[in-house]
Structure 1
Amino acid sequence: MQHKIFNIQNAHQFSEVALAVFQHQFKHNKVYRSFCDLLFIHPSEVSKVEEIPFLPIQFFKSRKVLSSLDEIQETFTSSGTTGSSVSKHLVTDINLYKQSYLRGFAHFYGDITEYTVLALLPNYLERNGSSLVFMVADLIEKSKNTESGFYLDNIQELARKLVALDKRGQKTLLIGVSFALLDLIALRKFNLKNTTVMETGG
């Protein structure tokens, strides 16, 4: 299954794998199976990706959503709002999780070691359980670049770093939440030719 997921070449293969994943989740994920049963949906009646039911986010706040009996290696939580419950993403294979985003990055952006990775993620850095911080920290480490790193509130320093790297022709990846990126461009105008900006939402 994992090999097929990471080697999809066209829309037809995607549909085949998506349906196979749906069948796997129906069989091994008790919460998802119960949800499908309530909707009177069975894999034998699902032949298109569009027919696969999606589990509402509320279930990730109130149930353990798992399709494996293996030990939970990592628990990621949503940011949530004050006083509200958070959704939890329980990961039983952290290496598979890493493989997913690292291969996705390589497919769309190329070799991570060619980049300086700069991360502007205030709020996310200040709490535990952020999958975004986990992934970005791993990308920073994998870049093997001493100039890669996180920025919290020091956007003046980040602005200077971006300009300096661009002048050197260094490929740079700036990962940031929308409100922080807006603060950055309000600080000064940029004309960066070697920088890719990845907006993460938030």
Structure 2
Amino acid sequence: MTAALPPALQQAVERLLAFLAQDGCTDAEFDALACQLFELQYTHDEPYRRFCQRRGMTPRRVTGWRDIPPVPISAFKDATLSCVPPADCERVFMTSGTTRGDVKGRNHHPTIAVWDRSMQQHFARRFMHGAARLPMLLLFPDERELPNSSLARYLSLAARTWGGEGSRSYVDARGLDVDGVCRALEAAVARGQAVALLGASYSFVHLLDALQAQGREFVLPPGSRILDTGGYKRQAREVPLDVFYDDLVRGFGVPRERCINMYGMTELSSQFYDDGNARVPSVKSGPHWVRTRVLDPLTGRDMPPRERGVLAHCDLANFNSATAILTEDVGIAVERGFLLLGRAEGAEAKGCSLAVQEFLEAARA
């Protein structure tokens, strides 16, 4: 059982839950809550406070979300970023550890209620599109198998909230149950019932390879949809985006407009979606409680529109660790969102590394 939240944190949770339930917000409302949460983190999150002090940013100097120093994403591997002791947290999500071996980033959640509300509010609008329930075939382990995986929580929560009869995971310690997926798809086709396939991008690659080897293809009923996320992470062969989505159309008969990509990460508490992948790269955008900047990682300055830089997100739902995160993903700002172009390389990667070094020097001072 988790400990009761300190009064300041409990008040922040209540404000956040109400804010997430709003139908949008003004820039002034976003800035006001961002500043309140920054003061909370500055006060109770010691490694982050030291980093902000090194940047010369205090609650008195932060007047809006753009003033909040973004934490380099790798800092979650090297420091405990939390306003409460980790032992008092209801859930701790861990990264896969693919970039630095067994070193895993950790994001601590004193209560999972905010994370869940963030996921549910945005998922309903961007993926369900008014549908009440759909049979959901999950190409990823259930959260009971991976309790520290934010993606496992995300998919299991989707199935519990919106999944129709027969919704379940088709991946366990033995691997992907290709035959089970095929039987479920065959039943959906026979009934003329729309179905949703959701999972890691690399799981779709494995499933498509298995279907091709068996000479099998499906034409799923109208209203069926697909959600992929996470890229390949060295667990499948690399597939160009256009080829990948063409293969989904060929394998399942779902139009590219109904093939949604979700962009998320353990170090955040919210997700980004596109509106289908008729064209790639597709425009990604978040909910009203998230703002995104495209930065030069060496200077920290915003890049002009249509110029590439490193993505930095301010996610108010990430109230306990750090609302502002500097990723290692490259993108460009466009109307209504951003284009995700891949991982930082060259000068961009060097800038990210210097940001991490600066954080560690401050945190250990």
* Counterpart residue identity of residue 227, structure 2: M
* Counterpart residue identity of residue 150, structure 2: S
- CA separation of 1:43 and 1:121: change in aligned 2, threshold 3 A: same
Gaps of 5+ in 1: none
- CA separation of 1:138 and 1:112: change in aligned 2, threshold 3 A: farther
Structure with the bigger RCO (C-alpha within 8 Å, sep 6+) is 2
- CA separation of 1:94 and 1:134: change in aligned 2, threshold 3 A: same
Matched residue, 1:138: 157
Question: What is the TM-score of this pair, normalised by structure 2?
Answer: 0.48
Contact 1:8–1:14 under 8 Å retained in 2: no
* Counterpart residue identity of residue 79, structure 1: S
Identity of aligned residues (%): 26
Residues 1-202 of structure 1 aligned to structure 2 (within 5 Å): 1-2=15-16, 3-7=18-22, 9-12=24-27, 13-68=29-84, 71-81=88-98, 83-108=101-126, 109-110=128-129, 114-121=133-140, 127=146, 129-143=148-162, 145-152=164-171, 153-186=176-209, 187=211, 188-192=216-220, 193-202=222-231
Moved beyond 6 Å, runs of 4+: none
Contact 2:52–2:69 under 8 Å retained in 1: yes
If each structure's helix is expressed as a fraction of its own residues, which one has the higher value? 1
* Counterpart residue identity of residue 96, structure 2: S
**Which SS does the other structure have where 2:71 is aligned?**
coil
The root-mean-square deviation of aligned C-alpha atoms, in Å, is 3.0
Gaps of 5+ in 2: 1-14, 232-365
If each structure's strand is expressed as a fraction of its own residues, which one has the higher value? 2
Contact 1:115–1:173 under 8 Å retained in 2: yes
| Cα drift, residue 111 of structure 1 | 6.3
- CA separation of 1:196 and 1:42: change in aligned 2, threshold 3 A: same
- Number of residues of Structure 1 aligned to a counterpart in Structure 2: 202
| Cα drift, residue 120 of structure 1 | 0.5
Contact 2:44–2:84 under 8 Å retained in 1: yes
Question: What is the TM-score of this pair, normalised by structure 1?
Answer: 0.81
The whole-number CA distance in structure 1 between the counterparts of 2:162 and 2:147 is 23
The whole-number CA distance in structure 2 between the counterparts of 1:29 and 1:92 is 13
Contact 2:20–2:121 under 8 Å retained in 1: no
